[in-house]
């Protein structure tokens, strides 16, 4: 009762899951993003496509058995997409089985017209995305039309995607085809897919910006999460030889070889700028 009184209780959703408390939403979300509407010299070459791998799963079970209402964080997905679109790139939207993209709509910046515009532009693709298996079967041979793979964050990126063999195949394809991989916050969980079936982890020794487990462990206190995480992403990556570049949920971004990463939703604008500038410079 005291948690409810002070706005600390997670909100119970109709499906039995919990979304963040009033206080958590006030502290961790905003009606408008810090997106900078930059006019880049648009890329006009053949490698104009970016595959965006979204989660199709909504509920993450915490250690206490309660479910967190998650999905892809809209800011982490759409703000980098705005920068890449301004730089001349277009997107192919995909989920593991072709089910609709799930967003954390409680985090949607309703007062941000640019974010709303690109969301509406790709809304049909979010509802009917491509199946990753179909991409593997049909598109891996067309490497010369793709510039990058982008895996947005949100806790939902830790559901299914790290254990999906097709994600691992696509990330290895991107690596071997000299394409960029872009991801942020909890999205780097996707990189774990490269170690499936006893294969060597592709990113051992890489520098990365990743959402810290230490922050995830604190957020139940303000009702952001309804319990402790089922497993820790940053510590898992660290155990595989990743060098973590941040200790806070901040604007840190990192470029290491062909991997571009960001620390949190706060890094979405900086990640978008870094990705756009890096791809434009590489594809001259």
CA dihedral 224→229→230→236, nearest 10 degrees, is: 140
Burial state string for 231-241 with b = 16 or more CB within 10 A and e = fewer than 16: ebbbebbeebe
Whether the CB-CB separation of 72 and 152 falls below 8 Å is answered with yes
**Dist. CA 58–CA 86, nearest whole Å:** 30
Known active-site residue 185? yes
**Dist. CA 115–CA 123, nearest whole Å:** 12
**Dist. CA 207–CA 153, nearest whole Å:** 18
**Dist. CA 116–CA 94, nearest whole Å:** 20
C-alpha 30, offset from chain centre: 18
Catalytic hit among 25, 149, 184, 185: 185
**Dist. CA 182–CA 256, nearest whole Å:** 11
Dihedral sign from CA coordinates of 248, 194, 157, 42:
positive
**Dist. CA 185–CA 152, nearest whole Å:** 8
Residues annotated as catalytic are 185
């Amino acid at each position: 009762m005291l948690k409810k009184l002070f706005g600390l209780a997670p909100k119970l959703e109709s499906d039995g899951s919990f979304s963040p408390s009033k206080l958590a939403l006030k502290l961790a979300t905003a009606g408008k993003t810090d997106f900078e509407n930059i006019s880049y010299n648009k890329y006009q070459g053949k490698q104009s496509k970016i595959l965006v791998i979204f989660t199709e799963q909504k509920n993450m079970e915490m250690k206490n058995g309660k479910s967190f209402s998650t999905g892809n964080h809209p800011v982490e997905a759409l703000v980098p997409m705005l920068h890449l679109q301004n730089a001349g790139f277009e997107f192919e939207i995909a989920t593991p089985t072709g089910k609709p993209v799930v967003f954390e709509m409680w985090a949607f910046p309703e007062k941000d017209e640019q974010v709303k515009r690109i969301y509406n532009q790709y809304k049909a693709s979010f509802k009917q995305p491509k199946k990753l298996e179909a991409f593997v079967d049909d598109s891996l041979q067309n490497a010369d039309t793709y510039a990058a793979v982008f895996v947005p964050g949100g806790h939902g990126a830790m559901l299914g995607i790290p254990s999906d063999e097709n994600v691992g195949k696509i990330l290895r394809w991107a690596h071997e085809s000299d394409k960029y991989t872009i991801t942020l916050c909890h999205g780097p969980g996707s990189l774990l897919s490269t170690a499936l079936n006893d294969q060597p982890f592709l990113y051992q020794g890489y520098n990365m910006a990743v959402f810290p487990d230490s922050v995830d462990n604190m957020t139940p206190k303000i009702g952001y999460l309804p319990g402790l995480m089922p497993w820790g992403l940053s510590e898992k990556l660290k155990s595989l030889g990743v060098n973590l570049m941040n200790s806070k949920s901040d604007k840190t971004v990192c470029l290491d070889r062909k991997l571009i990463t960001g620390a949190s939703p706060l890094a979405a604008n900086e990640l978008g700028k870094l990705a756009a500038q890096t791809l434009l410079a590489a594809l001259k």
